[in-house]
Chain A
Amino acid sequence: MNETLTVFAQEARERLEELESLLLDLEQQGSDGETLNAIFRAAHTIKGASGVVEIGPIEQFTHVLENLLDHLREGDVAVSPELVSALLSGGDHIGRLLEHLSELAEGQTPAVVAEGEVLADRLRAFLPGAAAGAPAPTVAAGPARSSDADAPRAGNRHWHVSVRFGESVLRQGMDPAAFLRYLPTVGSVVRMETLADALPPADEMDPEACYLGFEIALAEAADATSIESVFDFVRDDCLLTVLPPHAPLADYAALLDARPEGAARLGAVLVDMGCLSAEALAHVVAAEAVAADDGVALLPALADAASLPAAAEPVRRGSDGRSGQETRLIRVPADKLDRLIDLIGELVIGSASAELFARRSRETALIEVNANVSRLVEDVRDAALQLRMVTIGETFNRFQRVVRDTARELGKAIGLEVRGAETELDKSMVERLGEPLLHLVRNAIDHGIEPQDERLAAGKRAEGRLQLNAFHDSGSVVIEVVDDGRGLDPERIRARAVERGLVGAEQGLTDAEALQLIFEPGFSTVDAVTKLSGRGVGMDVVKRTIAALRGTVDVRSTVGEGTTFVLRLPLTLAIIDGFLVAAGQHNYVIPLDNVAECLELTADDVYGDVFRLRGEPLPLVRLRTLFDLADAPPRRQNVVVVQAGNQRAGIVVDALLGEFQTVIKPLGLLFRNLRGVAGSTIMGNGEVALIVDVPNLVSVAAATQQHAFSDNVRPAVPHVLS
Chain B
Amino acid sequence: MPEHTEIDAPHHRLALDGELTVYRAAELKPLLIDAVRAHRAVAADLGAVTEFDSAGVQLLMLAGGEAQRLGHDFVIERCSEPVRELLAFFNLPAMLPPSGDTAAMETTHE
A210 within 8 A of B: yes
Interface size on B, residues (CB 8 A): 22
- Cβ-defined partner of A199 (8 Å) among B28, B33, B65, B86: B65
Minimum CB–CB distance from B35 to chain A (whole Å) comes to 12
- Asked if A176 and B62 make an inter-chain contact with CB atoms under 8 angstroms apart, the answer reads no
Map CB proximity to A onto B79-92 as digits: 1 under 8 Å, 0 otherwise: 00000001001111
A202 within 8 A of B: yes
Pairs across A and B, CB under 8 Å, 20 listed: A170-B25, A170-B53, A170-B54, A175-B55, A177-B57, A180-B89, A192-B91, A194-B91, A196-B65, A201-B66, A201-B69, A202-B33, A202-B65, A207-B25, A207-B26, A207-B55, A207-B58, A210-B54, A210-B55, A210-B58
- Cβ-defined partner of A212 (8 Å) among B58, B66, B69: B58
Q: Name B49-85 residues within 8 Å CB distance of A.
A: 53-55, 57-59, 61-62, 65-66, 69
The DSSP consensus for interface residues of chain A is loop
B11 within 8 A of A: no
The DSSP consensus for interface residues of chain B is helix
Q: Name A686-721 residues within 8 Å CB distance of B.
A: none
- Cβ-defined partner of A208 (8 Å) among B22, B66, B86: B22
- Asked if A212 and B62 make an inter-chain contact with CB atoms under 8 angstroms apart, the answer reads no
Asked whether A202 and B66 contact (CB < 8 A) given A180-B89, A194-B90, the answer is yes
Q: Which residues does chain A contribute within 8 Å of B40, judged by CB atoms?
A: none
Q: How many A-B residue pairs have CB under 8 A?
A: 64
A181 within 8 A of B: yes
- For A170, A180, A202, A211, the residue with the greatest tally of chain B CB atoms inside 10 Å of its CB is A202
- Cβ-defined partner of A202 (8 Å) among B54, B57, B62: B62
Determine the distance from Cα of A181 to Cα of B62 in the docked complex, in whole angstroms. 23
A432 within 8 A of B: no
Q: Name A192-230 residues within 8 Å CB distance of B.
A: 192-194, 196, 199, 201-202, 205, 207-208, 210-212, 214
Minimum CB–CB distance from A275 to chain B (whole Å) comes to 14
- For B33, B54, B69, the residue with the greatest tally of chain A CB atoms inside 10 Å of its CB is B54
Q: Which residues does chain B contribute within 8 Å of A202, judged by CB atoms?
A: 33, 62, 65-66
- For A175, A191, A207, the residue with the greatest tally of chain B CB atoms inside 10 Å of its CB is A207
Q: Which residues does chain B contribute within 8 Å of A193, judged by CB atoms?
A: 91
Extra inter-chain contacts (16) besides given A171-B22, A199-B65, CB under 8 Å: A170-B22, A175-B55, A177-B54, A177-B57, A177-B89, A181-B89, A192-B89, A192-B90, A193-B91, A194-B91, A196-B58, A201-B69, A202-B33, A205-B29, A208-B22, A212-B57
B residues sitting closer than 8 Å to A (CB atoms) are 22, 25-26, 28-29, 33, 53-55, 57-59, 61-62, 65-66, 69, 86, 89-92
Q: Name A154-189 residues within 8 Å CB distance of B.
A: 170-171, 175-177, 180-181
- Asked if A207 and B61 make an inter-chain contact with CB atoms under 8 angstroms apart, the answer reads no
Q: Which residues does chain B contribute within 8 Å of A171, judged by CB atoms?
A: 22
- Asked if B28 and A207 make an inter-chain contact with CB atoms under 8 angstroms apart, the answer reads yes
Q: Which residues does chain B contribute within 8 Å of A170, judged by CB atoms?
A: 22, 25, 53-55
- Asked if A208 and B89 make an inter-chain contact with CB atoms under 8 angstroms apart, the answer reads no
